[in-house]
């Protein structure tokens, strides 16, 4: 058995503690399950009471989450509540009770199995989250019907500090864990974007996901090391390994304090190149944290929080208020707001999305917005109103064709005219940009650049579309490599096309928060980098420690490399002369040291 297990990093941090293997199983329904016709009404009533009780349980967990973490985190539970009101799931169960004379337990089990069969043909993260939610409510309803107790989740026996090991953690389970005792989480399933990963980051709890059969190989009470930034778990570590990781944890904490001193210094290279360093945020409340960490503005404000997990369309005023709150934190800095990037793994309940074999290649992003003009127009109107208050820039996701930009401009002009007739004067000087996220957009960047005011390269999607590798598929994690020569060449082509056209070129994907990636991008000549608030100080350290001219030389060599490893080695060799790489987290650190 391999003691060192690598999965997908979900939430950073290093912890050494005893494992607690958590098994929350769906109860087994006893054989049989037939009732007499005269009992059908009683079974239906019993089922409806159980469903209402479970709704109450979930709402209580949701309210606790809202109080502790915030409104958006609480919305994670909306899909479960919607399932418990779904006429197909609940009504179908009632139909089985009446038509087939099944017990409530058996009827609900049958209906859930049919739902699972409908979804289980894919391993897409969106579907996995749905199956996770379905399993959660199935277990709760069945335990209620069978008079079984809920498993106590917040009072583990044994050591004071534990790392929870589980096959999976539903959001309701993760939200109930006692974080004074649960210091880390490792699951066999999941992706970095899954609900439980998001909750772990909100709870500031180190977490790793997608670790295979980990719960079969770890016993409660085993000591393990969990390293959340690189996605590593070490089973039954030696004393030397414990010492190494304790020292690394200390060094990282010390380093974090050191680089925080750079927060308010200029983001400028040694040879004087100014690189705007902005923040990626998901919620308006994160804007203040980004400002405190020294961001030069917002490079990516994701707006999906306004719609995902909701069963109603947000109003224009509600959107305006959210955008205005972010702008208030950066009244004199750029705030780049991305229009709805729906589809893929983000499906609002009110929008009837089609069943697709591969949602990331389907109806998503700008395609959805242009096909749903009422939804898009309300967002554009709110953005235009906000733009009168400061430097607000509108960014369109997944642009492939010029027509997508021109159709959006037509909607914007119509919205400006509408607002004017209503007495809201909006100037014509709005700023519109395109995200470069596909090989098509990168190759056609020169043509696209003539129709927009700026580019923002979304490396997350660009890598997966270029390499045909699902970034949420743990089995293919080793193939998802932004240093692949094809990706590097597309990045360089898009950057050069934007610079030649005289427009700003920024990067807002996760690649920008990798010190090695930042070095490469600066050498290519990008004007701005946008990263998570927690990575701002580290990337500012990189910027202030390097010479852009030398980085450009490294890029020229990297463009001639023939493999991802060769690209990395070229960059590491050049960067090593300017920076102490051992101080940074990254591919040269733990993964190479072991």
Tell me the catalytic residues: 195, 508
Residue found under tokens 């949701």 = 62
Identify whether the C-beta of residue 338 lies closer than 8 Å to the C-beta of residue 365: no
- Residue 152, classed as helix, strand or coil, is coil
| 352/357 Cα distance (integer angstroms) | 16
Structure tokens at 167: 């096959």
SS3 per-residue string spanning 307-357: CCCCCCCCCHHHHHHHHHHHHHHCCCCCEEEECCCCECCECCCCCCCCCCC
Q: Would you call 162 helix, strand, or coil by DSSP?
A: strand
Give the number of other Cβ atoms within 10 Å of residue 426's Cβ.
19
- 495 vs 131: CA distance, rounded Å: 40
Q: What is the dihedral of CA 445, 276, 573, 442, to 10 degrees?
A: -10
User: 261 Cβ partners below 8 Å, 6+ apart?
Assistant: none
Burial class (CB in 10 A: 0-12, 13-18, 19+), 421: exposed
What is the secondary structure of 1-57 as a DSSP string? Answer: --SEEE-EEEE--EEEEEEEEE--PPPPPPS--B--GGGHHHHHHHHHHHHHHHHHH
H-helix or E-strand spanning residue 524:
helix 515-524
Under 8 Å CB-to-CB from 365, ≥6 apart: which residues?
340, 341, 342, 343, 344, 397, 398
Give the pair of three-digit tokens for residue 110.
Answer: 């049958």
Check if the beta carbon of residue 163 is closer than 8 Å to that of residue 185. yes
Residue 402: which residues within 8 A CB-CB, separation 6 or more? 447, 448, 451
Residues 50/141, Cβ–Cβ less than 8 Å: yes
- The CA–CA distances, whole Å, from 288 to 304, 305, 337, 507, 509 equal 19, 17, 16, 21, 21
Nearest C-alpha neighbor of 171 from the set 214, 215, 211, 131: 131
Rounded CA-CA distance 363/378 in Å is 20
Distance separating alpha carbons of residues 405 and 394, to the nearest angstrom: 11
CB atoms within 10 A of CB 82: 15
Q: Which long-range contacts (CB under 8 A, 24 or more apart) does 318-325 make?
A: 319/378, 319/379, 319/382, 319/383, 320/382, 320/385, 320/386, 322/284, 323/284, 323/382, 323/383, 323/386, 323/392, 324/386, 324/389, 325/284, 325/285, 325/287
Residues 6+ apart with CB under 8 A from 265: 294, 540, 544
CA distances from 25 to 140, 170, 174, 177 (A): 10, 12, 15, 17
CA distance 22 to 151: 10
Give the number of other CB atoms < 10 A from CB of residue 125. 24
């Amino acid at each position: 058995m391999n003691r060192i297990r690598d999965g997908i990093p979900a939430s950073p941090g290093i912890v050494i503690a005893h494992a607690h293997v958590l098994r929350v199983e769906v109860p087994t329904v006893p054989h049989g399950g037939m009732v007499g016709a005269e009992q059908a009404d009683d079974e239906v009533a019993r089922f409806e009471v159980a469903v209402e009780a479970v709704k109450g349980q979930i709402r209580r967990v949701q309210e606790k989450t809202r109080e502790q973490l915030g409104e958006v985190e609480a919305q994670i539970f909306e899909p479960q509540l919607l399932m418990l009101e779904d006429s197909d799931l609940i009504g179908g169960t009632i139909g089985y009770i009446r038509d087939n004379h099944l017990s409530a337990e058996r009827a609900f089990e049958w209906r859930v199995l049919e739902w699972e069969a409908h979804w289980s043909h894919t391993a897409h993260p969106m579907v996995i989250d749905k199956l996770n939610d379905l399993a959660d409510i199935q277990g709760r309803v069945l335990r209620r019907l069978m008079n079984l107790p809920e498993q106590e989740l917040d009072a583990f026996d044994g050591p004071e500090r534990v790392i929870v090991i589980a096959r999976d953690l539903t959001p309701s389970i993760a939200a109930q864990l006692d974080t004074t005792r649960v210091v880390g989480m490792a699951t066999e399933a999941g992706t970095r974007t899954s609900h439980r990963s998001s909750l772990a980051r909100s709870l500031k709890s180190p977490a790793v996901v997608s670790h295979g059969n980990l719960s079969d190989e770890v016993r409660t009470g085993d000591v393990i090391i969990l390293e959340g930034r690189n996605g590593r778990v070490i089973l039954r570590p030696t004393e030397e390994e414990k010492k190494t990781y304790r020292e690394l944890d200390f060094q990282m904490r010390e380093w974090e304090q050191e680089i925080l001193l750079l927060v308010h210094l200029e983001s400028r290279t040694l040879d004087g190149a100014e690189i705007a360093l902005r923040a990626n945020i998901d919620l308006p409340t994160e804007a203040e944290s980004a400002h405190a960490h020294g961001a030069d503005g917002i490079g990516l404000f994701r707006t999906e929080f306004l719609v995902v997990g909701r069963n109603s369309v947000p109003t224009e005023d509600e959107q305006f208020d959210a955008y205005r709150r972010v702008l208030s934190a950066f009244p004199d800095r750029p705030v780049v707001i991305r229009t709805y990037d729906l589809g893929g793994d983000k499906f609002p309940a009110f929008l009837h999305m089609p069943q697709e074999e591969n949602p990331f290649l389907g109806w998503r992003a700008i395609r959805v917005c242009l096909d749903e003009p009422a939804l898009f127009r309300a967002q554009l109107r709110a953005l235009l109103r906000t733009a009168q208050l400061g430097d607000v820039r509108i960014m369109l996701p997944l642009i492939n064709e010029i027509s997508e930009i021109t159709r959006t401009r037509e909607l914007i002009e119509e919205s400006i005219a509408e607002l004017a007739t209503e007495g809201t004067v909006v100037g014509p000087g709005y700023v519109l940009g395109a995200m470069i996220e596909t090989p098509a957009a990168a190759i056609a960047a020169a043509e696209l650049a003539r129709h927009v005011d700026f580019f923002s390269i979304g490396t997350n999607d660009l890598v997966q579309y270029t390499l045909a590798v699902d970034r949420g598929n743990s089995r293919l994690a080793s193939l998802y490599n932004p240093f692949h020569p094809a990706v590097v060449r597309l990045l360089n082509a898009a950057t050069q096309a934007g610079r030649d056209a005289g427009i700003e070129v920024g990067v807002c994907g996760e690649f920008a928060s990798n010190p090695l990636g930042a070095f490469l991008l600066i050498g290519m000549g990008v004007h701005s980098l946008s990263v998570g608030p927690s990575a701002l100080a580290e990337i500012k350290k990189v910027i202030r420690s390097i010479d852009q001219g030398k980085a450009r030389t490294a890029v020229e060599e990297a463009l001639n490399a023939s493999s991802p490893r060769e690209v990395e080695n070229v960059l590491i060799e050049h960067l090593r002369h300017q920076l102490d790489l051992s101080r940074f987290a990254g591919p040269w650190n733990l993964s190479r040291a072991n």
